[in-house]
Amino acid sequence: MSDKIYELILRNCRLLLPNYQLQIVDIAIDDGRITAISTDIPASGKQEIDIGEKLVTPPFVESHIHLDCALTAGKPRWNQSGTLFEGIKIWAEYKQRLTLEDVKKRAIETLKTQAQQGVLFVRTHVDVSEPTLTALQALLEVKETVKNWINLQIVAFPQDGIYSQDENLTLLETALQLGVDGVGGIPHYEFTREDGVKSIHYIFDLAEKYDCFIDIHCDEIDDEQSRFLEVVAACAIRTGLTSQVTASHTTAFGSYNNAYAFKLMSLLEKSKINFVANPLINITLQGRTDTYPKRRGVTRVKELWQHGLNVSFGHDCVQDPWYNLGTGNMLDVAYMAVHICQMTGIPEINACYQMITRNGAKTLDVEDRYGIKVGKPGNLIVLDAKNPFHAIRKRATVKYVFSEGKLLAETIPTKVKFVGFT
Ligand code: 17E
Ligand code: FE2
């Protein structure tokens, strides 16, 4: 035994390595940072926890959620058609009565639900096509309130479009002045294709002016003619903003003909932009105007991954006008993706795990603070599983969540006793 005493040692961790190998190690943490990783740390710790060879990985990353809308499902009414458009209408009714307290309460409750399930990095979109910008002000306060235990990024998102109402253009810029992290848009919802293209150029101008990233709701529709993704990719190349740019949803990509999709793929490879797919919500939202065969309405996740593009997953909604369900659990998202994207091979399932962890960190550009390595902040989760496949298959309980080296949440996995018949 050496005389060094660590603050905290996690013994017998089944650590997931970047090459998907698993290694049993001890992990020491001091002052919020990882200070040693070794097969057997000879020193002792002021506190020691036996992890019992459970799976240890970096925390989950929620790449795309709308916290301002979370936990409002059914208010003022339920979405009967299940479409994006009815959801936008219901939200338009709800948002007329927004208060700071209401948004803050729902956002913090959702963040807690996420954090206790291992999510420590979150990118939220906030509707800024509402004249009082109440939701934005609330989320800016929430970001400050939660900053010691969860990393929150805010995207100014003009839900109703930038050119649909005169004041929306100014509201978007005001939002950027108030200090958001990123700027978004919704080109497929603008009145015309021309407005959609113009909105993308405007978003890029704003991103350059306010030095922020871009995350656009792009082509979230089954219309195979919705081709704003190519505009986003071209702008990303021409401005050099490349990996500072994210295209969210891109569900129309699932409807493009292959000749066009192949051409598009090489443009996307050049652009190096990130993609966020939201399989839970888009499998329910899309395909609503189809009879049969019915489209899946999810972007080409497997092909983007095979072409080396960065894809991560989002929950998008937790009980809001677009989706009544939602748990905040990223394993639910990966589980749904494995099915819809037909990524059932083991390397593909591993890739889906990566899309709720490391790829999300790349999308959010937090890689410098992410990963289990000596010197990095002590952000890690312990799952009641042996490997990522097992974690996704069982949607395993996240037993411990460590944020900045401190235990943030502990869940006791349930035990079932099968009594049977005699
Ligand atoms: N707004 C939107 O345009 N699309 C979505 N999927 C959600 C909100 C949840
Ligand atoms: Fe969204």
- Ligand 1 atom nearest 186 alpha carbon: 3
Q: Which of 380, 350, 378, 293 is nearest to 61 (CA)?
A: 380
Q: DSSP for 265-297, please give it.
A: HHHHHHHT-EEEE-HHHHHHHTTTT--SS----
User: Which residues sit with their C-beta closer than 6 Å to ligand 1?
Assistant: 66, 84, 159, 186, 217, 220, 281, 316-317, 322
Q: DSSP for 238-252, please give it.
A: HHT-GGGEEEEE-GG
Separation between Cα atoms, residue 405 and residue 382, nearest integer Å:
13
Separation between Cα atoms, residue 176 and residue 168, nearest integer Å:
13
Q: Nearest ligand, CA of residue 87?
A: 1
On whether the CB atoms of residues 92 and 68 are closer than 8 A, the answer is no
What local confidence, expressed as pLDDT, does residue 3 receive? Answer: 76
- Name residues of the chain where pLDDT drops below 70: 1-2
Please name the residue that has the structure tokens 């990522």: 388
User: 118 alpha carbon to ligand 1 midpoint, in Å?
Assistant: 24
Domains of the chain with bracketed CATH: 5-58+371-410 (2.30.40.10), 60-369 (3.20.20.140)
What local confidence, expressed as pLDDT, does residue 191 receive? Answer: 98
Give me the long-range contacts of 84-92 (CB less than 8 A, separation at least 24). 84/220, 84/221, 84/285, 84/322, 86/321, 87/285, 87/320, 87/321, 87/322, 88/159, 88/160, 88/189, 88/321, 90/321, 91/127, 91/159, 91/320, 91/321, 92/160
Paired tokens of 393: 């298959």
Separation between Cα atoms, residue 92 and residue 135, nearest integer Å:
13
Can you say whether the dihedral through the CA atoms of 93, 172, 297, 352 is positive or negative?
A: negative
| Cα dihedral 191→197→200→202 (10° resolution) | -90
What local confidence, expressed as pLDDT, does residue 413 receive? Answer: 83
Q: Which of 220, 223, 222, 218 is nearest to 233 (CA)?
A: 218
Q: What is the pLDDT of residues 54-78, one digit of tens each?
A: 999 999 999 999 999 999 999 999 9
What local confidence, expressed as pLDDT, does residue 1 receive? Answer: 58
What local confidence, expressed as pLDDT, does residue 422 receive? Answer: 77
What local confidence, expressed as pLDDT, does residue 402 receive? Answer: 98
Residue type, 188: H
CB atoms inside a 10 Å sphere around CB 290: 12
Residue type, 43: A
User: 280 alpha carbon to ligand 2 midpoint, in Å?
Assistant: 11
